[in-house]
Amino acid sequence: MYKRTASFIFVAFFSALAFGTTFAYQVNTEFSATAIQKAPDRPEYQTKMYISKDSIRKDSVQNNMPVIEIVKLKQQSRIFLVPNEKIYMQITNPNPTDQGIQEISVSAKPCEGLPNTSCQMLGEEKVNQRDAEKWEFTATIEKQSYRSLHWVDKEHRMFIREFFPDGTISELVPDGVEKINGRNTEKWLWMLSGSDGKMQSATQWYDPELKIMIREELQGGYIRELRDVKTGKQDLKLFDIPSDYKQVESLKEYFSPQQDQPQE
């Protein structure tokens, strides 16, 4: 399992609160939680989430209308339901970027799933007192090859240092342990140095049991987190389409412009 931690793990669960690019995630512990997104001068946005080993469900409100999104991992399908109207739309075999999650073996290469990209391990090194694997990626874009270096934390299987072709450098540094919303977490500092000299930073909290980041504080007062986490096997009925729902071709009118809309 590899996680691009310059982002937040929520992208593996739902596109509406996508925080970056996580290209692979494997569910280790089933759980439910409330996802929170807070921004200055804007109302708090909440989404109820249910995570099983094979499916992901989020309950949210779009244009003042309750909407449910279900992602079926093995079937590679997304289902959007509108309970008030008892209608649904289903998309099968979407682009992995839209789905935001792929189920792969933990032994797969960290470039697994990236288009036109290969990688090879160059060895092992210590990065900020963490044991890491050093990988070289080669990506081909319009017949031009680009090489980058990536260090993968051996314990958590996440990128803790990255050198990109344009000179951008990303680094994740451990900063102790802390209890967040009743959960034992590891605190990490993320820093990005752009090729233009601009710096970005964030603080992230990693949950060792769930194996994901459950809180992130960004510059400017933006906060994203999981609250009310309850671990345990999820009821499979949560991920089924009710028998009295009618299938439709489009649900665009139910999605706010600022929220992710299903791609048809």
Q: Is residue 77 part of a domain?
A: yes
Q: Residue 259: what pLDDT?
A: 45
Residue type at position 218: L
CA-to-CA dists, residue 220 to 40, 199, 217, angstroms:
8, 13, 9
Q: Residue 103: what pLDDT?
A: 37
Q: Is residue 195 part of a domain?
A: yes
| Secondary structure in 3-state letters for the chain | CCECCCCCHHHHCCHHHCCCCCCCCCCCCCEEEEEEEECCCCCCEEEEEEECCCEEEEEEEECCEEEEEEEECCCCEEEEEECCCCEEEEEECCCHHHHCCCCCCCCCCCCCCCCCEEEEEEEEEEECCEEEEEEEEEEEECCEEEEEEEEEECCCCEEEEEECCCCCEEEEEEEEEEEECCEEEEEEEEEEECCCCCEEEEEEEEECCCCEEEEEEECCCEEEEEEEEEECCCCHHHHCCCCCCEECCCCHHHCCCCCCCCCC
Q: Is residue 1 part of a domain?
A: no
Q: Residue 254: what pLDDT?
A: 67
Q: Is residue 260 part of a domain?
A: no
Give residue for tokens 């931690």.
5
Q: Is residue 262 part of a domain?
A: no
Q: Residue 262: what pLDDT?
A: 45
| Listed residue (156, 131, 123, 127) closest to 22, CA to CA | 156
Q: What is the pLDDT along the chain (264 residues), one digit of tens a residue?
A: 444 443 333 333 333 222 223 334 567 789 999 999 999 989 899 999 999 998 999 999 988 889 999 998 888 889 999 999 999 999 886 444 333 333 334 447 898 878 899 999 999 999 999 999 999 999 999 989 999 999 999 999 899 999 999 999 999 999 999 999 999 999 999 999 998 989 999 999 999 999 889 999 998 999 999 999 999 999 999 999 999 999 998 877 766 444 444 444
Q: Residue 26: what pLDDT?
A: 63
Q: Which residues fall within 8 angstroms of residue 144, CB to CB, at 6 or more apart? A: none
Q: Is residue 140 part of a domain?
A: yes
User: What's the total number of domains in the chain?
Assistant: 1
Q: Whole domain around residue 75: which residue ranges?
A: 9-254
Q: Is the dihedral of CA 229, 214, 111, 128 positive or negative?
A: negative
Q: Residue 15: what pLDDT?
A: 30
Burial class from Cβ neighbours inside 10 Å (0-12, 13-18, 19+) for residue 95 reads: exposed
Q: Is residue 263 part of a domain?
A: no
CA dihedral 229, 233, 213, 41 (to 10 degrees): -40
Paired sense of beta strands 65-72 and 87-92, if any: unpaired
Q: Is residue 264 part of a domain?
A: no
